[in-house]
Amino acid sequence: MTPAEAKKMAAEYAVKQMEWYFSVHNLCSDVFMRSYMDTEGYIPVAFVANFPGCASLGAEFTDILEALKSSEMLEFDEANETMRLREGWDMWILPNASGGLGVPRYIKLSEDEAAKIAAQQEAQAAAKSEEPSAEATMNGAAAVEEDASPAAPTAATEGGEEVTAAEPAPVETPPTDVPAEGATEGSSTVEPSAPEASADANAPAADLTDEQIAELEAVVLQDDEDDLPEDDETGVTDVTADAATAADQPAPAEAAAAGASSA
């Protein structure tokens, strides 16, 4: 057997295997293959030729296409390199998502047309990759809102000069480690410190005027007069009455002599 005859025989065996794939026995269970049938029941020859049963025969693709022309079971579309059953092909097409039957029609394109379509697909993919995602758009909008929010003024201009806003004074907090009166610190008792001696209340302030000092002296003199004993009726001390009462009383020596003589 010559090499040409061997190649032809391998292609014929490959076509016989393809006819078995389109048999009723296989199509009843081979949903995968039926899912690739187009609206007219065609399937690409290259797709079926890659099945293990055909690929293991080692037939060349051009020899398979030539052998399909003489098949009585399969109808060969040489222009698009597809094939289907000659009879009853429409009963095996599966429904599609749009409510019809089969996948879109398989059309073989020329090299120029295929290159043009490939370039269009690459341009669409590049444009889609350059479009910002929804998450990036939201993050950008959030950043713009933060930048647009008014910031606290730190400086202002007054008369052409820059005036820096004054910082708020720090709030002093009371000490928390001061022990209470009578509290113990270690082994000794902490006594409260004695208050410092206060200044004399009667001493005039250094910054008083002469009139204020005179008024204070008058008030002090008035307080001293109020402390003297007063008469019940007149309110004036009766000095003469006290002197007369003292003159009428005998002296102590005379009173003693008078007592001895009477005894």
Token output for 106: 């398989």
pLDDT-derived band of residue 214, with 50, 70 and 90 as boundaries?
confident
Total number of residues shown for the chain: 263
Over residues 176-200, mean pLDDT? 49
Residues linked to residue 188 through DSSP beta bridges, in sequence order: 185
Over residues 207-221, mean pLDDT? 75
Q: What is the pLDDT of residues 15-61, one digit of tens each?
A: 999 999 999 999 999 999 999 999 999 999 999 999 999 999 999 99
Q: What is the pLDDT of residues 114-161, one digit of tens each?
A: 888 889 889 989 888 877 665 666 666 666 566 655 555 555 454 555
pLDDT (0 to 100) of residue 234:
47
Q: Which residue has the tokens 């690929």?
A: 55
Sequence-separated contacts (24+) of 88-92 with Cβ below 8 Å: 89/37, 89/40, 89/41, 90/41, 92/27, 92/34, 92/37, 92/41
pLDDT (0 to 100) of residue 109:
83
Runs of H (alpha helix) within the chain: 3-21, 24-27, 31-34, 45-49, 52-55, 61-68, 111-130, 134-148, 210-226, 239-248, 252-262
pLDDT (0 to 100) of residue 19:
96
pLDDT (0 to 100) of residue 159:
53
Instruction: Give the whole-angstrom CA distance, residue 63 versus residue 14.
Output: 10
pLDDT-derived band of residue 9, with 50, 70 and 90 as boundaries?
very high
Q: Is 24 exposed, middle or buried (0-12, 13-18, 19+ CB in 10 A)?
A: exposed
b/e map of 168-178 (b: 16 or more CB within 10 Å)? eeeeeeeeeee
pLDDT (0 to 100) of residue 217:
77
pLDDT-derived band of residue 209, with 50, 70 and 90 as boundaries?
confident
Instruction: Give the whole-angstrom CA distance, residue 226 versus residue 235.
Output: 10
pLDDT (0 to 100) of residue 60:
93
Instruction: Give the whole-angstrom CA distance, residue 29 versus residue 93.
Output: 13
Q: 3-129 sits in which CATH class?
A: mainly alpha
pLDDT surpasses 80 at 81: yes
pLDDT (0 to 100) of residue 1:
80
Domains of the chain, residue spans: 3-129
Q: Which residue has the higher pLDDT, 194 or 143?
A: 143
pLDDT surpasses 80 at 6: yes
pLDDT (0 to 100) of residue 50:
94
Q: Round the average pLDDT of the chain to a whole number and report it.
A: 74
pLDDT surpasses 60 at 233: no
DSSP 30: -
Query: How open is the CA angle 210-211-215, to the nearest 5 degrees?
Result: 115
Token output for 38: 């187009």
**Would you tell me how many other CB atoms lie within 10 Å of the CB of residue 105?**
11
